Amino acid sequence: MKLLAIDTSTEACSAALHIEGVTRSRYEFAPKRHAELILPMVDQLLAEAEIELSALDAIAFGRGPGAFTGVRIATGIAQGLAFSANLPLIPVSTLATLAQSVNGRSGDIAAIMDARMGEVYYGLYQSNDVVELIGTECVISPDKIIAGNLTRCFGVGSGWANYADVLQNIFKGHLEGYSADCYPHARDMIPLALRAFRNGELKAPEDAAPVYLRNNVTG
């Protein structure tokens, strides 16, 4: 399986190339430089692997939620690359990517990203070989999150930095810790994209679309 993944949905910019079980990646925390960095990252990875874009099986991209401009960049670049090489696309959730980055712990994973305007993007995931969404992803005021019937939980994402007190109170008694300085990384998209590919969850380039979770978006 040969797969390219790109993500520009937050302040971080990353790309990963997976070829027959081996993953190479590039990552840089570079707010507002995504359009400048992402294509050179892709070119470097392809050159290192000595493979042409057209030899890949699919391209995965971070479809959001996240910063409006960043999500648009990832979607547009993925579409352009896919059109040029006649490849299918695999949209991957930013929240799922974050959850996958800390997968392997017992219990559930609360992926929470700052959405600005006093809200967060929230998704609860079950740990497995590849994380699985519990319920639906949403944009919500952090104090409106309901912990439900959790037993153990680990938090990840920028929302845990900006709303730590509120979230720790909501998940009180269940929370085993959290990683607030974690951003989506394309290498963590690979397991999610491989599962989607096996399940036939592919999009034609013209059908790929970003997911904002709300109509009122900010850059």
User: Which pLDDT value is given to residue 149?
Assistant: 79
Contacts of 109 (CB under 8 A, 6+ apart): 99, 102, 103, 124, 125, 126, 127, 131, 153, 154, 155, 156
> Would you write out the chain's pLDDT as a tens digit for each of its 219 residues?
999 999 999 999 999 999 999 999 999 999 999 999 999 999 999 999 999 999 999 999 999 999 999 999 999 999 999 999 999 999 999 999 999 999 988 789 999 999 999 999 999 999 999 999 999 999 999 999 998 778 899 999 999 999 999 999 999 989 999 999 999 999 999 999 999 999 999 999 999 999 999 865 444
Q: Which domains does the chain have, with CATH numbers?
A: 2-93+184-207 (3.30.420.40), 95-179 (3.30.420.40)
Q: In Å, how far from its chain's centre is CA 68?
A: 14
What's the predicted TM-score (pTM) here? Answer: 0.95
3-class DSSP assignment, residue 91: strand
